């Protein structure tokens, strides 16, 4: 059986020390979020392999931008759609993040805290250090605190919004500025038997949506350091008294810059989770 080719792929390998910088450069490309995704896989103790996937044949200017971010020439080749999704799923292994069990393949048995998140055209399978950090901090926080109203800002696949519901939250907004992310979140909610009334996925830039009016007891934002800094006043304004904020998508070297934007607003570091060169912060 043949299928129409819609996805193009290119791989490259870099020393582990260069991976965080390249990852940040790729995340900063707005067109990559619109036209494709990237996944990274560890090749060994010293090198990291990046696999880039683009919807449709990438334009020459997009390839140029990607090569500049990657620091190397890229050879894109077409692959059947079912092949790249299967390949991505097979490259990821199930794992625990605190009490959460995350798997890219349909689990034979599900516990209340199982999250089934297949690879797809939205970022966030849970394997990346930034998402992993958020999951651990959500787990720690919700051992002792149950938010009445929460938001996953920049939801990607909706994994963090679903984790909030799995841990007991019942009023969660999953927001992203990428339409594909909103669609994928809705699909993943169904795949995880998440009731529609528990999570409301919305397409929005920042807090620019009526569903995001008012205040939240918990705001989770797994994006990038610069947007986190720029959003600090809005996040503070939308945070309910006594509420908490989980911030991620930042390198450990960017922690102080991010904290410098939130501390003057009365939000102070309460907990953190570091994995590799990446950090997640819990503020309250």
d(CA 222, CA 117): 17
Each domain of the chain, given as residue ranges in start order, spans 5-87, 123-283
Task: Note the pLDDT tens digit of each residue in 59-96.
Answer: 898 899 999 999 999 999 887 655 444 454 444 567 78
SS3 string of 104-115?
A: CCCCCCCCCCEE
From 43, 132, 20, 38, select the one nearest 88 (Cα to Cα).
38
- Strand order of the sheet with strand 77-80? 36-42, 47-55, 5-15, 77-80
The kind and range of the H/E element at 27 are helix 19-27
Task: Note the pLDDT tens digit of each residue in 144-199.
Answer: 989 999 999 999 889 999 999 999 999 999 999 888 889 989 999 999 999 999 99
State the DSSP string of 79-127.
EEHHHHHHHHHHH---EEETTEEEESS--SS--TTEEE----SSS--S-
Q: Is the Cα torsion angle 216, 218, 222, 224 positive or negative in sign?
A: positive
Secondary-structure class of domain 123-283 per CATH: alpha beta
What's the predicted TM-score (pTM) here? 0.72
Task: Note the pLDDT tens digit of each residue in 126-135.
Answer: 556 788 899 9
- DSSP one-letter code for 144: T
Task: Note the pLDDT tens digit of each residue in 224-277.
Answer: 888 999 999 999 999 999 999 999 988 888 999 999 999 999 999 999 999 877
**Higher pLDDT among residues 98 and 27, named by residue:** 98
Asked if residue 30 has pLDDT above 80, the reply is no
Alpha carbon separation from 281 to 122, 136, 148, 183, 192 (Å, rounded): 23, 11, 21, 28, 27
Q: Which residue has the tokens 């043949």?
A: 2
* Pair 155, 180: CB distance under 8 Å: no
d(CA 36, CA 42): 20
Two domains, one topology: 5-87 and 123-283: no
Q: Please say whether the structural domain 5-87 has been given the CATH code 3.30.70.120.
A: yes
């Amino acid at each position: 059986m043949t299928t129409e080719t819609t996805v193009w792929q290119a791989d490259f390998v870099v020393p582990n020390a260069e991976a965080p910088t390249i990852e940040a450069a790729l995340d900063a490309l707005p067109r990559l979020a619109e036209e494709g995704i990237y996944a990274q896989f560890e090749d060994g103790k010293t090198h990291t392999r990046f696999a880039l996937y683009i919807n449709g044949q990438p334009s020459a200017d997009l390839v140029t931008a990607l090569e500049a971010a990657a620091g190397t020439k890229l050879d894109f080749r077409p692959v059947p759609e079912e092949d790249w999704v299967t390949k991505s799923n097979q490259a990821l292994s199930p794992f625990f993040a605190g009490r959460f069990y995350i798997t890219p393949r349909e689990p034979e048995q599900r516990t209340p805290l199982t999250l089934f998140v297949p690879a797809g055209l939205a970022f966030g399978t849970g394997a990346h250090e930034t998402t992993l950090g958020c999951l651990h901090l959500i787990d720690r926080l919700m051992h002792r605190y149950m938010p009445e109203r929460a938001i996953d800002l920049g939801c990607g696949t909706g994994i963090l919004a679903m984790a909030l519901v799995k841990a007991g939250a019942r009023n969660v907004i999953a927001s992203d500025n990428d339409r594909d992310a909103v669609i994928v979140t809705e699909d993943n909610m169904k795949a995880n038997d998440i009731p529609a009334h528990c999570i409301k996925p919305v397409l929005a830039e920042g807090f620019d949506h009526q569903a995001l009016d008012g205040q939240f007891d918990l705001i989770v934002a797994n994006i990038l350091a610069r947007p986190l800094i720029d959003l600090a006043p809005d996040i503070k304004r939308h945070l309910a008294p006594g509420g908490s904020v989980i911030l991620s998508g930042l390198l450990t070297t960017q922690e102080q810059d991010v904290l410098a934007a939130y501390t003057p607003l009365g939000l102070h570091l309460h907990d953190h989770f570091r994995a590799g060169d990446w950090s997640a912060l819990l503020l309250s």
